A and B are shown apart, each in its own frame.
Chain A
Amino acid sequence: TQLLEQSPQFLSIQEGENLTVYCNSSSVFSSLQWYRQEPGEGPVLLVTVVTGGEVKKLKRLTFQFGDARKDSSLHITAAQPGDTGLYLCAQYNFNKFYFGSGTKLNVKP
């Protein structure tokens, strides 16, 4: 069983603050995906990272894949209430998807 550990589990911040959430595994990822899930909805894909050391930016979100491809981070600059949600990392391996337990982010106005 592939285990994806996410931290922190919960994060409550004020609008305008920066934050970083993490996804780690003892195994090497072939690729890693980040999703955001809002209450009452299914997860929505934000980004896929493939290459060790890769950095991808999506507006105020910056995704980094570790050099050894065993960890990844998501950094949000100047968080807004619309960023509130559950952030999940996921890995696809041998016809199975594995998700982490997520980081629940609450951005207060």
Chain B
Amino acid sequence: ETGVTQSPTHLIKTRGQQVTLRCSSQSGHNTVSWYQQALGQGPQFIFQYYREEENGRGNFPPRFSGLQFPNYSSELNVNALELDDSALYLCASSSLSSGEKLFFGSGTQLSVL
């Protein structure tokens, strides 16, 4: 069984740029959710995708957008990067059979300069 993988592991961008982060869900999982974790804080829910549709969103502006593909992998896109977007971005997959249990990847550490 393949776990959740995220790429890249680290990324440095400058303010105003755009970034795309990628996530491959665990085998058999059809739901992917994304989180932003600032240093010393808990993860903040960005949004969730189920069968290629967004079906839940946290308090993040529209410049945070996502996609889910037919193979259930997912992308997180952030436009017009701001300094405060510097954080660890975590992806988690789940499925009906796993209930509300989230399986997390190791994250992408984004630094915005």
Contact = CB atoms under 8 A, between A and B. Distances in A.
Interface residues of A, number: 26
Contact of B4 (A40, A42, A48, A102): A42
A17 B58 CA distance: 38
A48 B45 contact: no
A98 B6 CA distance: 21
A45 B101 contact: yes
Contacts of B43: 43, 88, 97, 99
B105 A102 contact: no
Given A42-B106, A42-B107, 14 more contacts: A35-B102, A40-B106, A42-B104, A42-B105, A43-B102, A44-B104, A88-B43, A90-B42, A92-B100, A96-B58, A97-B35, A97-B48, A97-B102, A104-B40
Interface of B: 4, 33, 35, 40-45, 48, 55-59, 90, 92, 99-107
